[in-house]
Amino acid sequence: MGLVVFLLTAVLAVVLVLISSTLIRSYTLHGATQYAQTVAEMARTALTESMLNGTTPTLPRLKSRLAETQGLVGLNVERSPANIEQFGPSQEGLPHLDAISAEVITTGRPLYRLEQDQVQAVFRATIPYIADSHGEPNCLSCHQVPEGTVLGAVTIRIRISDILERSYWASLTLAAIILLFVPLLLYLINRLYRPIIRAAEGVESAVARAGDGDFTTRVQTSGSDEASRIAASFNRLMDLLENGLIRISGQIARLVQYERPTNGHLLTETIRAVDELVDAAQFKQAIEEDETKTEVYQRLSQVMRTKLGFSRFSIYEVDDAKNKLVPTLIDGEQSAENRWCDAQILARSESCRARRTGHPVNAFEQPGICTMFVGKGIEPGLEHVCLPVLQSGGVGSVVQVVAPLDEKPHIDQQLANLSVHLREASPVLEAKRLMETLRESSMRDAMTGLYNRRFLEEYLDTLLAGVARNKTQLGLLMLDLDYFKQVNDSYGHEAGDRVLIELARVIRQSVRASDLCVRFGGEEFLVILNDTDAQGAMLLAEKVRAKVEEMRVQLPGGAIQKTISIGVADYPADGENFWQVLKYADVALYAAKEAGRNRVERFVPEMWTGNAGEY
């Protein structure tokens, strides 16, 4: 550093010496030029006065008048040809006209030149005298020449060696002063600004490292100067940023109850985590406005596929009543078959480790932890993560993500985000499930488990729209136990309830899953057979009648046996109004009762005694 300062000082001194020497030389020559012009004017004035006085001017006399002029070492006056023609040559015996004087007389322009030998430096100025009628005195009053004619030239030599020598010594003195004081000045400047420079470099380094996520760098401080105060203020700012980001990250981790993996960039990871929380909050707002839990699952599937980048995943819903898992979405497909797990989990939900323990199952961290995963047999190298969705203290759903082992970094990065979305979805799913349960219970008969009339009224429009769209038929069966009142009178209402429950079981077992069984009221039941004509409805009705006849209901006092009467109608073959056709089935039921009970009757128009359109 000291050598650099010395070299800079030396270069500065040389530059300043050269500049000052050039400027002094230029100033000296300029001063000599003006000096020579003054002497030339004095000579012209003296010559003019002599002519006006009628005397012939002589060069010695002129030199004696100018002898006191400082530095003057030579003075010559040459006449021009025009002047010689009028007054003749000079009588002074001057030397022959040299080339410079001849050029000046010829061109009328002055010439200035520095003539330097080993002893001294002389400034030569050769200045022409030009005839002018406007000045005082009027040159043309004596000279018979045109205006602007060169009358002659005066050559003046001035010694400037002393001036140049003093100038050079002044330059050297200046250089010596610079050499002495500039290092001292640079030292003082360095002493003053070096702490500030170090602080600035420290701030720059800390900011650069902070840009890479490292907020631990601090600027070194010493003393109480301005630089130290700047460094201390910056360090306090960095402390605030680092502690704030660490606190935010910790709060987010506690909020989502999942430790996020980081890439070392604290600020970027914090911003990303906050963005994910905002996305999750918007997701929750959206699913709260969904009508059913199926819509919630579909929206969750969309998030997993588009935002989280999962292509293979499953969502299972826990059916606690039946102790099984129901596939809701498989790889984003609704009602798809189970693909990645052993079928045991569908029949016995405890077979699923996540369902049984209520804890996440991460086979990327612990390969082979769950024996129910069969994905490796489908595609080698696959692993899985299963996250339980807790509802009311138990597992309500299980979300499974399947991916190759080389996607583990992506899985690790997105699991926290998925966990946040599942936490937001959990209470919403629970509320939707509760609402569906309440709605389901309000539309089912509590004793038999069959749908009630309210369900029929709400579902009917959907049912009839499907019939019209598919151009199919509905077989309607109205069923009524024969002499049911005798059971209540003889055995009590509890026995009557057991008979109804057993009848409901027989009816359910006799029809398809797509058919609807409704307790229409009291001991009267309705069965709606999808895509079934009258002939098919008659066959099924006879099957139900025979099974009911064989039915034995065990009571404390023994077993009882009952029969049933059934009326059959066909929609829309028997009428375009569903409720009218239902009335026709009821009419056929009472026809069966009147025909002796324990029989099936198909509605025919002759059975209807009311007006058309009445029901």
pLDDT (tens digit per residue) in 398-450: 999 999 999 999 998 888 889 888 888 888 888 888 777 777 777 888 899 89
523 flagged as catalytic: yes
pLDDT (tens digit per residue) in 181-203: 766 766 676 666 677 777 777 77
Distance CA 170, CA 175 (A): 9
- Answer whether residue 79 shows pLDDT above 70: yes
377 burial level (CB within 10 Å; 0-12, 13-18, 19+): exposed
Task: List Cβ<8 Å contacts ≥24 apart for 271-279.
Answer: 273/248, 273/249, 273/416, 274/248, 276/416, 276/417, 276/420, 277/252, 277/420, 279/307, 279/417
The pLDDT of 45-53, averaged and rounded, is 69
Question: Residue 40 in contact with residue 156, Cβ under 8 Å?
Answer: yes
- Answer whether residue 263 shows pLDDT above 70: no
Residues 6+ apart with CB under 8 A from 199: 219, 227, 228, 230, 231, 234
The DSSP secondary-structure symbol of 305 reads I
Per-residue confidence (pLDDT) for residue 470, from 0 to 100: 86
- Answer whether residue 267 shows pLDDT above 80: no
Per-residue confidence (pLDDT) for residue 93, from 0 to 100: 47
Strands (E), 430-507: 474-481
Structure tokens at 45: 């004035």
Per-residue confidence (pLDDT) for residue 462, from 0 to 100: 85
Per-residue confidence (pLDDT) for residue 223, from 0 to 100: 66
- Answer whether residue 232 shows pLDDT above 90: no
Question: Residue 272 in contact with residue 416, Cβ under 8 Å?
Answer: no
The fold of 267-442 is Beta-Lactamase (3.30.450)
pTM above 0.85, yes or no: no
Task: Using only the alpha carbons of the chain, give its radius of gyration.
Answer: 60
* pLDDT range class, residue 52, cuts 50, 70, 90: low
Distance CA 511, CA 179 (A): 115
Return the higher-pLDDT residue of 439 and 351.
Answer: 351
pLDDT (tens digit per residue) in 508-564: 999 988 899 999 988 899 999 999 999 999 999 999 999 999 999 988 878 899 999
φ, ψ of residue 398 to 5 degrees: the values are: -130, 125
Other CB atoms within 10 A of residue 437 CB: 10
- Residue 564's DSSP bridge partners are 481
Structure tokens at 359: 């804890």
Please write down the HEC assignment for all residues of 96-119: CCCHHHHHHHHHCCCEEEEEECCC
What is the DSSP code string of 158-200? EE-HHHHHHHHHHHHHHHHHHHHHHHHHHHHHHHHHHHHHHHH
- Answer whether residue 289 shows pLDDT above 50: yes
Catalytic residue among 424, 523, 524, 594: 523
Per-residue confidence (pLDDT) for residue 21, from 0 to 100: 67
Other CB atoms within 10 A of residue 332 CB: 17
Architecture in CATH of 453-607: 2-Layer Sandwich (3.30)
Cis before residue 89, ω within 30 degrees of 0? Answer: no
Residue owning tokens 């809701």: 328
* Helices 2-52/161-211 angle, 10° precision: 140
Q: How is the chain split into domains, by residue range?
A: 2-159, 267-442, 453-607
- Identical fold for domains 2-159 and 267-442, yes or no, is yes
Structure tokens at 50: 């002599």
Helices within 317-385 (DSSP H only):
344-347, 353-357, 375-378
* Helices 493-510/484-491 angle, 10° precision: 140
pLDDT averaged over the chain?
A: 81
CATH of 2-159, one of 1.20.120, 3.40.50, 1.10.10, 3.30.450: 3.30.450
Per-residue confidence (pLDDT) for residue 592, from 0 to 100: 94
The DSSP secondary-structure symbol of 411 reads H
